[in-house]
Chains A and B, each alone.
Chain A
């Protein structure tokens, strides 16, 4: 809400804008900006034309001699409307910078010296007119600042009014707060309505009393209709236009401007109907019936819904209550008789259709936050007075005021003990009375001491629709006495915290960082195409991600069912920056749709996963350690799973993961549970995600690990072991894990350790279809030192098993 300091000063004699802004902010009405209007026209002054003559050799330039109140200057002007001597113009002195950024200096035009510039409205940012220069009233004082002459000087506060303070969406509301803040009286402008009715003789208009009927007093607690006769539509006077401009409203015509002015002045939205176009001159407030339509002011035919609150005349809807008027009944240039509506509509009755039709306006906003039902008449009277003043009308009688159920005064008790308990600050009763009295909460019934201790009772003014409970009064006391008065203490709550946080996720992050990966955070919503590119089986629920109904952009419209897209986007960002050695991870939830019969089926299962992406080259010393391969990714996965569970994961080749290379992919399991997969990103997926080079990735579920048992100690052997090597050619398709399991089975209890030292498969150096493997086996007994004879015997059995079970050829 924009608050004009000039306007505010009519209500209360506030100090300067900075002090006012500080006081309002401290009271919860945050001033977010201060605009000093007219400052941008410094250097532009009223000048009197002394003489004018054509510039020699030009068909349109005029040499104008002007007087700025002090001295005489010569300026060349290209406009056709330079007034005759005696006329007043707006002159920008040399050295001025105009609102559009144009710097004014002294120039030579056609050999003639020209100081400054005579300005048009457009050049001063005052309007669109570029037809010619501004010509001012002939009695304007030469030398006076143009900003003052045109009543442009004002300071405007941008006040952030919170949704509970609809009463502050007006200069009156802000004035009430300022009056309390500075202990200054509020000046209530008096409207002599009896005089307006023109009691004396010929000037009086015949009384017109519009019939008003309210069908729904919940939707419309009060409706007042007055008629102003004999108005002449035209532009508003300058002061009125400037007021509206200051609060950001474009002046339209005197009738519309007055309704807007009163809304910003007192917070009461008004509507002016052309009385001639209101059938029967009658008003009925009722809910819409099925199938009704209304053509609104903006010319759009609106489909009404049953229950929309309507203002109707004798025949048809003429306005959507509090939202927008109808085109048929709006005031226009030919209007001579106005039916002025001042009414109170229930917030929901305005909000629901305004929201549905996207018709939020200054008026609907005020109804949504609640207007002062008791202030309806005062606002109407004020508007009547202004219409008489600026549009020359006469008020045709008292009109109609239907208020079927006037308000009972609201009393709220305030227990001082409760006040103390909630704030942690004991505010004495006289101080509470003083603070609340300052915002027009009168004490009713005096302080009574009962079972609850001292209780104060306050009567709530009708404009404070937000105050309904004791706690609301406690807030007012806190707000008014200042939160800086509160001491800063620590609570004495005795509750031992229970097991806390997601230990598995935190540990996973630490392990992955220790493995050299950098953590990223990415958005939970991703591009549907990125998920599709990752690929899922049709019957996989991850293939049908939940969609954001109102995404900001398509790339952020699918709730991720995989962690890969975010990591891929980060990798792509790095690759675009020419950073190619990239190892990233993310730990976070996926969002998987639930089945229709599940608990809370509209929510998602949110399993937590750890995902990683590796690209580029491995660290070497001084030079690269060579391109990353599958085993770098596997190493990270092993470190992660081992760190989380104390057990090495089991990897098994898989060729059916759609987003991984069919020959370079493995499932990862531990303790009999499958966690996820690791492998080389499928070249097709890589291309679809915009990645370059070979990329390795993993995605492991963390939830199965939450119940992993703690590691159990195995005492290290005390007796030395003996090692034997075995080197063989073996079928290239036999996986290392298979060889290892044959070795382990054949070695029996004495075989303590099996390590692969070499896997060599270069064509030409090994027999076709074979690879060379070198294993080191360590034999050890927990009870004694083994003899060479025992070790040799055990090893011979292992070697024999290799040959017999795997057709290995010993080297």
Chain B
């Protein structure tokens, strides 16, 4: 400060400071360094500020001109700082975007378990019937002879008992009178429901049933779903039974399927009919299909109009009420839907199988 600066030399100095700053921050790669550099130039004791202290010694006209230069240099430095910071952030972002993850590596986190395919099938069936207004009813699996047979018009010493091989339980104590058995169908739930409430009745009864069948295509325990609708005579007919079954198979297995009722015999229904539906593999075409042996149909269950004797056994007046009942194997329907060919697969609990039914 020995010599007093001229306005020209001051302008030159300021311009040089601007150029020097640009050169300095070009080499800086972090925001703190850049801010420090900014402070070295623009801070209270920064180089630009120091240079501008000489301003007071200039005449007012020169002071104005140099002041403008000073402001220009200051804003130039500030702009350089912003630009540099933006560029730096951009570089960081670019570097981050260059990151690559091997997305084909497996996901982390515990895997979900599964509901058994038969549970899934049962729920889906329940839902279809729930939409039609059916209530889900349940009953005991260890049953009395009365509920499983007598109330369903299957008297003792009657040949229709031979239609179902029954598991009996050993009496609990000597002299225990009644025969106790594992229910052979879910039909006792019908009897129990009707004994409990007056008509109308509209239920489905899903659950485990037991038959003393021992061959490769049968399992001694399986799941059945049974439906019962009882109302006043004239409000429910066999045509309604057919329509209900048609609605069900279409909702469950596909809109293109057909239903066929075939006359048959069950002690608790009259008329009785086997229920066939279009083969789910050839969709009813038949020809050349191994599954339906070329018939285009496969049997899925039994059905019929509730026999007057059943109404009598539960205290309904068969002159007043009419109804239909149907039953089918949940196992079978699940096997058809999921293309499971061996029923025993369903009862093994093989994790490699269960995982396939999420």
Tell whether, in the assembled complex, residue A519 and residue B116 are in contact, meaning their CB atoms are under 8 Å apart: yes
Tell whether, in the assembled complex, residue B116 and residue A521 are in contact, meaning their CB atoms are under 8 Å apart: yes
Contact for B308 among A469, A520, A588, CB less than 8 A: A469
Nearest-neighbour CB distance to chain B for A785, whole angstroms, equals: 34
Q: Which residues of B contact A500 (CB under 8 A)?
A: 126, 130, 135-136
Judged by a CB distance under 8 angstroms, whether B106 is at the interface is yes
Judged by a CB distance under 8 angstroms, whether B82 is at the interface is no
Q: How far is the CA of A574 from the CA of B352 in the complex (A)?
A: 9
- A-facing residues in B62-86 (Cβ within 8 Å): none
Contact for A369 among B159, B243, B347, CB less than 8 A: B159
Q: Which residues of A contact B3 (CB under 8 A)?
A: none
Tell whether, in the assembled complex, residue B142 and residue A491 are in contact, meaning their CB atoms are under 8 Å apart: no
Judged by a CB distance under 8 angstroms, whether B37 is at the interface is no
Tell whether, in the assembled complex, residue A491 and residue B231 are in contact, meaning their CB atoms are under 8 Å apart: yes
Judged by a CB distance under 8 angstroms, whether A585 is at the interface is yes
Tell whether, in the assembled complex, residue B113 and residue A579 are in contact, meaning their CB atoms are under 8 Å apart: no
Pick out which of these stretches binds chain A: B53-61, B260-268, B281-289.
Answer: B260-268
Q: A424-B239, A570-B349 are in contact. Are A596 and B173 (CB under 8 A)?
A: yes
Q: Which residues of B contact A369 (CB under 8 A)?
A: 159
Judged by a CB distance under 8 angstroms, whether A559 is at the interface is yes
Judged by a CB distance under 8 angstroms, whether B25 is at the interface is no
Pick out which of these stretches binds chain A: B43-51, B91-99, B269-277.
Answer: B269-277
- B-facing residues in A507-525 (Cβ within 8 Å): 509-510, 512-525
Tell whether, in the assembled complex, residue A495 and residue B308 are in contact, meaning their CB atoms are under 8 Å apart: no
Pick out which of these stretches binds chain B: A75-83, A530-538, A542-550.
Answer: A542-550
Nearest-neighbour CB distance to chain A for B214, whole angstroms, equals: 5
Q: Which residues of B contact A603 (CB under 8 A)?
A: 140, 142-144, 180
Contact for A493 among B141, B142, B236, CB less than 8 A: B236
Tell whether, in the assembled complex, residue B349 and residue A493 are in contact, meaning their CB atoms are under 8 Å apart: no
Tell whether, in the assembled complex, residue A547 and residue B135 are in contact, meaning their CB atoms are under 8 Å apart: no
Judged by a CB distance under 8 angstroms, whether A606 is at the interface is yes
Tell whether, in the assembled complex, residue B113 and residue A512 are in contact, meaning their CB atoms are under 8 Å apart: yes
Tell whether, in the assembled complex, residue B221 and residue A621 are in contact, meaning their CB atoms are under 8 Å apart: no
Nearest opposing residue in chain A for B331, CB measure: A521
Judged by a CB distance under 8 angstroms, whether A483 is at the interface is yes
Judged by a CB distance under 8 angstroms, whether B200 is at the interface is yes
Nearest opposing residue in chain B for A162, CB measure: B265
Judged by a CB distance under 8 angstroms, whether B170 is at the interface is yes
Nearest-neighbour CB distance to chain B for A557, whole angstroms, equals: 9
Pick out which of these stretches binds chain B: A56-64, A285-293, A347-355, A771-779.
Answer: A347-355
Contact for B159 among A351, A517, A546, CB less than 8 A: A351
Q: How far is the CA of A423 from the CA of B234 in the complex (A)?
A: 10
Q: A519-B113, A523-B347, A583-B113 are in contact. Are A493 and B265 (CB under 8 A)?
A: no
Q: Which residues of A contact B160 (CB under 8 A)?
A: 163-164
Nearest-neighbour CB distance to chain B for A520, whole angstroms, equals: 4
Nearest opposing residue in chain A for B213, CB measure: A552
Judged by a CB distance under 8 angstroms, whether B240 is at the interface is yes
Q: A475-B272, A516-B112, A570-B348 are in contact. Are A28 and B263 (CB under 8 A)?
A: yes
Q: How far is the CA of A487 from the CA of B349 in the complex (A)?
A: 43
Q: How far is the CA of A600 from the CA of B177 in the complex (A)?
A: 11
Judged by a CB distance under 8 angstroms, whether A498 is at the interface is yes
Q: A26-B262, A546-B170 are in contact. Are A421 and B159 (CB under 8 A)?
A: no
Q: Which residues of A contact B351 (CB under 8 A)?
A: 518, 574, 579, 582, 584
Nearest opposing residue in chain B for A596, CB measure: B173
Nearest-neighbour CB distance to chain A for B310, whole angstroms, equals: 11
Tell whether, in the assembled complex, residue B119 and residue A509 are in contact, meaning their CB atoms are under 8 Å apart: yes
Tell whether, in the assembled complex, residue B140 and residue A347 are in contact, meaning their CB atoms are under 8 Å apart: no
Nearest opposing residue in chain B for A418, CB measure: B233
Tell whether, in the assembled complex, residue A493 and residue B229 are in contact, meaning their CB atoms are under 8 Å apart: yes
- A-facing residues in B198-250 (Cβ within 8 Å): 200, 202, 208, 210, 212, 214, 220-221, 223, 229, 231, 233-240, 242-244, 246-247
Q: How far is the CA of A552 from the CA of B134 in the complex (A)?
A: 36
Tell whether, in the assembled complex, residue A487 and residue B242 are in contact, meaning their CB atoms are under 8 Å apart: yes
Q: How far is the CA of A367 from the CA of B184 in the complex (A)?
A: 26
> What 1/0 mask marks residues of chain A from 546 to 573 whose CB sits below 8 Å from any chain B CB?
1111111000100100000011011101
Q: How far is the CA of A726 from the CA of B95 in the complex (A)?
A: 43
Q: How far is the CA of A517 from the CA of B136 in the complex (A)?
A: 26
Q: A475-B272, A600-B144 are in contact. Are A421 and B136 (CB under 8 A)?
A: no
Q: Which residues of B contact A517 (CB under 8 A)?
A: 113
Tell whether, in the assembled complex, residue A606 and residue B170 are in contact, meaning their CB atoms are under 8 Å apart: no
How would you classify the secondary structure of chain B's contact residues: helix, strand, loop or mixed?
Answer: mixed
> What 1/0 mask marks residues of chain B from 92 to 118 whose CB sits below 8 Å from any chain A CB?
000000000000011011111111101
Judged by a CB distance under 8 angstroms, whether A486 is at the interface is yes
Contact for B270 among A472, A547, A556, A601, CB less than 8 A: A472
Q: How far is the CA of A487 from the CA of B261 in the complex (A)?
A: 11
Nearest opposing residue in chain B for A425, CB measure: B239
- A-facing residues in B329-358 (Cβ within 8 Å): 346-352, 354-355
Judged by a CB distance under 8 angstroms, whether B168 is at the interface is yes
Tell whether, in the assembled complex, residue B130 and residue A497 are in contact, meaning their CB atoms are under 8 Å apart: yes
Q: Interface extent on B, as a size class?
A: 35 or more
Q: How far is the CA of A593 from the CA of B260 in the complex (A)?
A: 44
Q: Which residues of B contact A489 (CB under 8 A)?
A: 237, 239-240, 242-243
Judged by a CB distance under 8 angstroms, whether A229 is at the interface is no
Q: How far is the CA of A784 from the CA of B238 in the complex (A)?
A: 72
Judged by a CB distance under 8 angstroms, whether A661 is at the interface is no
Nearest-neighbour CB distance to chain A for B137, whole angstroms, equals: 8
Tell whether, in the assembled complex, residue B235 and residue A491 are in contact, meaning their CB atoms are under 8 Å apart: yes
Nearest-neighbour CB distance to chain B for A307, whole angstroms, equals: 12
Q: How far is the CA of A41 from the CA of B119 in the complex (A)?
A: 51
Contact for B243 among A487, A601, A618, CB less than 8 A: A487
Tell whether, in the assembled complex, residue B178 and residue A602 are in contact, meaning their CB atoms are under 8 Å apart: yes
Tell whether, in the assembled complex, residue B159 and residue A475 are in contact, meaning their CB atoms are under 8 Å apart: no
Q: Which residues of A contact B243 (CB under 8 A)?
A: 487-491
Judged by a CB distance under 8 angstroms, whether B189 is at the interface is no
Judged by a CB distance under 8 angstroms, whether A589 is at the interface is yes
Q: Which residues of B contact A525 (CB under 8 A)?
A: 167, 182, 220-221
Nearest-neighbour CB distance to chain B for A421, whole angstroms, equals: 5
Judged by a CB distance under 8 angstroms, whether B172 is at the interface is yes
Judged by a CB distance under 8 angstroms, whether A330 is at the interface is no
Tell whether, in the assembled complex, residue B200 and residue A495 are in contact, meaning their CB atoms are under 8 Å apart: yes
Tell whether, in the assembled complex, residue A622 and residue B168 are in contact, meaning their CB atoms are under 8 Å apart: no
- B-facing residues in A582-600 (Cβ within 8 Å): 582-585, 588-589, 591, 593-594, 596, 600
Judged by a CB distance under 8 angstroms, whether A746 is at the interface is no
Q: Which residues of A contact B167 (CB under 8 A)?
A: 525, 548-551
Contact for A497 among B110, B133, B169, B270, CB less than 8 A: B133
Judged by a CB distance under 8 angstroms, whether A577 is at the interface is yes
Q: Which residues of A contact B157 (CB under 8 A)?
A: 348, 351-352, 355
Tell whether, in the assembled complex, residue A516 and residue B111 are in contact, meaning their CB atoms are under 8 Å apart: yes
Tell whether, in the assembled complex, residue B106 and residue A621 are in contact, meaning their CB atoms are under 8 Å apart: yes
Contact for A601 among B123, B172, B210, B271, CB less than 8 A: B172
Q: A506-B123, A621-B106 are in contact. Are A491 and B229 (CB under 8 A)?
A: yes
Tell whether, in the assembled complex, residue A589 and residue B115 are in contact, meaning their CB atoms are under 8 Å apart: no
Contact for B180 among A351, A423, A602, CB less than 8 A: A602
Contact for B141 among A162, A591, A602, CB less than 8 A: A591
Would you list 22 pairs from A and B whose C-beta atoms are within 8 A, ordered by A residue? A28-B263, A30-B262, A30-B264, A163-B159, A347-B159, A369-B159, A469-B308, A488-B239, A500-B136, A501-B126, A514-B112, A517-B113, A519-B114, A520-B116, A549-B170, A574-B349, A579-B351, A584-B349, A602-B176, A602-B177, A603-B144, A622-B105
3 cross-chain pairs, A with B, having the tightest CB-CB distances, nearest first: A570-B349, A424-B239, A424-B237
Further contacts, 17 of them, CB under 8 A, given A479-B271, A516-B112 = A30-B264, A163-B163, A421-B322, A423-B237, A483-B263, A490-B244, A491-B243, A491-B244, A500-B135, A509-B115, A520-B116, A521-B347, A523-B347, A548-B168, A566-B349, A579-B350, A602-B176
A interface residues, Cβ below 8 angstroms from B? 25-28, 30, 162-165, 347-348, 351-352, 355, 365, 368-369, 418, 421-425, 469, 471-472, 474-475, 478-479, 483-484, 486-493, 495-498, 500-502, 506, 509-510, 512-525, 546-552, 556, 559, 566-567, 569-571, 573-574, 577, 579, 582-585, 588-589, 591, 593-594, 596, 600-604, 606, 618-619, 621-622
